[in-house]
Amino acid sequence: MTILRAVFLLAVSAPALLAQRARARELGVAPGVFAPGRHNAITDVAGVRVGQVTLTQGDNVRTGVTAILPHAGNLYRDRVPAALHVGNGFGKLLGVTQLRELGELESPILLTCTLCVWKAADAMVEHLLAAPDMQQVRSINVVVGETNDGGLNDIRARPVTADAVRRALTEATDGPVAEGSVGAGTGTVAFGWKGGIGTSSRVLPTRFGGYTIGVLVQSNFGGILQVLGAPVGRELDQYAFRGASNGGADDGDGSIMIVVATDAPLSDRNLERLASRAMLGVSRTGSSASNGSGDYVLAFSTAAEVRRAWDAPRLSTTEIANEQMSALFQAVVEATEEAILNSLFMATTVTGNGRTIEAIPLDRLREVLRRYGVTPP
The catalytic site residues sit at: 255, 293, 295
As beta bridge partners, residue 80 has: 105
Q: What is each CA distance from 102 to 84, 175, 257, in whole angstroms? A: 11, 31, 21
Q: Are strands 143-147 and 109-113 parallel, antiparallel or unpaired?
A: parallel
Which helix H or strand E contains 165, and what residues bound it? Answer: helix 162-170
Q: Are 55 and 225 spatial neighbours (Cβ–Cβ below 8 Å)?
A: no
Residue 339: Cβ-neighbour burial (10 angstroms; 0-12, 13-18, 19+):
buried
- Taking only Cα atoms into account, the Rg of the chain, rounded to an integer number of angstroms, comes to 20
Residue 304 neighbours by CB under 8 Å, 6+ apart: none
CB neighbours of residue 161 within 10 Å: 17
